[in-house]
């Protein structure tokens, strides 16, 4: 065991799923031509004043509730003053003094152990624009472009307490956070599209001490797996420095995905943003009734859904945890269950074949062609004995890729299983006649000899005989 322990806090930025920006009517649609979704407000032109998007406040409140936070009934916006080319106003509108939500938590599970990660605050802020450099960064580029389409997009920043102790816990926390926000319908939470971004504050200290070590901030991680790897690397790096008698320097470091290391970006300054109350926007006053209305509009969240799958459908807790880890999987499960009422069998196929293929092809569930109706139909074919479990896997893979009907695939591939005793009787009689030694062995008590005979029937039918039926028929015929 290491003499050191890691102390990690995460700052997560999540884009709220509104149609328009935080303070103007510009569209939030992703992937449009640069600078086509802009107006005087989000370009920060002098004299322009925005109006707060009510939907953004509602979604931020929803997010706070989905993260078990208290909601501030009287909050306001502040100006965070700094200069950067992607921030034309020279300040970002954020919530510095009074966040909309605070004191929340998420319970995570790592290696079968449950742990509570506390959430300090959730505040609303506007996104700056996006810089695109001709070189690797702003300092070594001949020129840079600015796209203000992102300027003024509504974000929430979710700040955790430094309760996280490993890269694995960080990943589990992010997965839980993503699932809760996705279920609540607050955000698309897509890291690839930038609607979820995460920075990690990492420090280490000797086990048994309580003073915090010097922390570094890690940026540029573009997947949950990358967050885990970056933290694991950074913790080791800091421990090595301390072991060598050195000191950790407070700095911002970037994750280099290809090399698998964190690299120096800049020294960590503690800039004074001169935050003050935004004078052009009125404070946000929320009534308790309105907050309760928002609470009532939140659908069942992952933990509750997991409990329901265990209590109502008898699924093992582990299965329920995997299935409810994403809204898409949970809905796929529920829809299949409506057509085929065997929860455990469905869960086996989802956790086995479906997740295996999604991982192998690095796909999201909505990109796969298989439907809940299709899976239910396939499971019925297997249950009837029309095809074997093994054939079912083959059919499943075709459905996954091409979305065809299982009956059609079975016909096209000639996969049907022979369960008809009439069709099998002749072949079984031949196998018995040709293998007197095995028959004798079986009849003299070597019951395992039947395996060979079943194998011969399978061979004669090119694997299409139903082994269960063959087994039963052989036993009947050999019982003398």
Stretch that binds Zn ion, among 7-15, 22-30, 307-315, 390-398 (CB under 5 A): 22-30
β partners of residue 156: 14, 124
Cα(49)–Cα(45) distance, integer angstroms: 9
What's the closest the beta carbon of residue 100 comes to Zn ion, in angstroms? Answer: 22
What's the closest the beta carbon of residue 39 comes to Zn ion, in angstroms? Answer: 3
Q: Mapping DSSP to helix (H, G, I), strand (E, B) and coil, where does residue 375 land?
A: helix
Q: Mapping DSSP to helix (H, G, I), strand (E, B) and coil, where does residue 304 land?
A: helix
Cα(41)–Cα(38) distance, integer angstroms: 8
What's the closest the beta carbon of residue 126 comes to Zn ion, in angstroms? Answer: 10
Stretch that binds Zn ion, among 8-16, 23-31, 103-111, 423-431 (CB under 5 A): 23-31
Nearer to Zn ion, 42 or 368 (CB): 42
Stretch that binds Zn ion, among 20-28, 67-75, 111-119, 160-168 (CB under 5 A): 20-28
Report the C-alpha dihedral over residues 191, 195, 196, 198, rounded to 10 degrees. Answer: 100
Contact residue for Zn ion among 35, 39, 286, 441 (CB under 5 A): 39
Nearer to Zn ion, 127 or 234 (CB): 127
Is residue 343 a contact point for Zn ion (CB under 5 A)?
A: no
Output the CA torsion sign for 222, 224, 225, 231: positive
What's the closest the beta carbon of residue 187 comes to Zn ion, in angstroms? Answer: 20
What's the closest the beta carbon of residue 334 comes to Zn ion, in angstroms? Answer: 39
Stretch that binds Zn ion, among 26-34, 384-392, 425-433, 468-476 (CB under 5 A): 26-34
What is the size of the binding site for Zn ion (CB under 5 A)?
A: 5
Cα(66)–Cα(58) distance, integer angstroms: 12
Nearer to Zn ion, 18 or 324 (CB): 18
Task: Compute the half-sphere exposure of residue 379: CA atoms within 13 Å on the CB side of its CA.
Answer: 23
Contact 391, 415 (CB under 8 A): yes
Cα(303)–Cα(416) distance, integer angstroms: 41
Stretch that binds Zn ion, among 16-24, 186-194, 280-288, 355-363 (CB under 5 A): 16-24
Name the strand (E) or helix (H) holding 422. Answer: helix 421-434
Is residue 24 a contact point for Zn ion (CB under 5 A)?
A: yes
The helix/strand count (H/E) of the chain reads as: 16, 16
Please tell me the total number of residues recorded for the chain in this structure: 480
Nearer to Zn ion, 20 or 336 (CB): 20
For the segment 42-101, give every residue that binds Zn ion (CB under 5 A).
42
Is residue 26 a contact point for Zn ion (CB under 5 A)?
A: yes
Binding site for Zn ion (CB under 5 A): 24, 26, 39, 41-42
């Amino acid at each position: 065991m290491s003499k050191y322990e890691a102390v990690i806090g995460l700052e997560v930025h999540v884009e709220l799923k509104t149609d328009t920006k935080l303070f103007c009517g510009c569209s939030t649609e992703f992937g449009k031509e640069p600078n086509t979704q802009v107006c005087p407000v989000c370009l920060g032109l002098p004299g322009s004043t925005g109006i707060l998007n009510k939907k953004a406040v509602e979604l931020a409140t929803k997010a706070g509730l989905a993260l078990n936070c208290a909601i501030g009934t009287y909050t306001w916006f502040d100006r965070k003053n700094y200069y950067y080319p992607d921030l034309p106003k020279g300040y970002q509108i954020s919530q510095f003094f009074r966040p909309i939500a605070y004191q929340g938590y998420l319970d995570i599970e790592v290696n079968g152990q449950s742990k509570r990660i506390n959430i300090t605050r959730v505040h609303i802020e506007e996104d700056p624009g996006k810089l695109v450099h001709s070189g690797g960064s702003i300092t070594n580029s001949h020129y840079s472009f600015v796209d203000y389409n992102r300027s003024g997009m509504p974000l929430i920043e979710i700040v955790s307490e430094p309760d996280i102790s490993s890269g694995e816990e960080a990943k589990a926390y992010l997965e839980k956070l993503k699932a809760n926000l996705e279920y609540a319908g607050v955000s698309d939470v897509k890291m690839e599209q930038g609607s979820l971004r995460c920075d990690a504050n990492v420090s280490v200290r000797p086990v048994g001490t309580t003073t915090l070590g010097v922390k570094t901030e890690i940026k540029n991680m573009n997947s949950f797996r990358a967050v885990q790897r970056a933290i694991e690397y950074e913790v080791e790096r800091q421990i090595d420095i301390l072991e060598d008698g050195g000191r950790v320097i407070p700095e911002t470091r970037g994750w280099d995905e290809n090399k698998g290391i964190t690299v120096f970006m800049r020294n960590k300054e503690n800039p004074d943003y001169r935050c003050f109350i935004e004078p052009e926007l009125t404070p946000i006053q929320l009534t308790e009734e309105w907050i309760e209305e928002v609470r009532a509009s939140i659908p069942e969240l992952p933990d509750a859904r997991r409990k329901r799958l265990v209590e109502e459908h008898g699924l093992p807790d582990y299965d329920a945890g995997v299935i409810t880890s994403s809204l898409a999987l949970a809905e796929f499960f529920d829809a299949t269950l409506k057509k085929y009422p065997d929860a455990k069998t469905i869960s086996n196929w989802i956790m086995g074949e479906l997740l295996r293929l999604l991982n192998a092809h690095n796909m999201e569930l909505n990109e796969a062609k298989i439907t809940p109706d299709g899976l239910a139909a396939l499971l019925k074919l297997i249950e009837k004995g029309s095809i074997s479990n093994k054939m079912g896997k083959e059919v499943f893979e075709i459905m996954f890729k091409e979305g065809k009907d299982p009956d059609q695939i079975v016909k096209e591939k000639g996969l049907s299983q022979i369960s008809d005793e009439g069709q099998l009787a002749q072949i079984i009689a031949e196998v018995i006649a040709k293998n007197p030694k095995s028959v004798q062995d079986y009849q003299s008590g070597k019951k395992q000899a039947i395996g060979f005979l079943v194998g011969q029937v399978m061979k004669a039918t090119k694997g299409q005989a139903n082994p269960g039926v063959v087994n039963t028929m052989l036993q009947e015929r050999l019982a003398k």
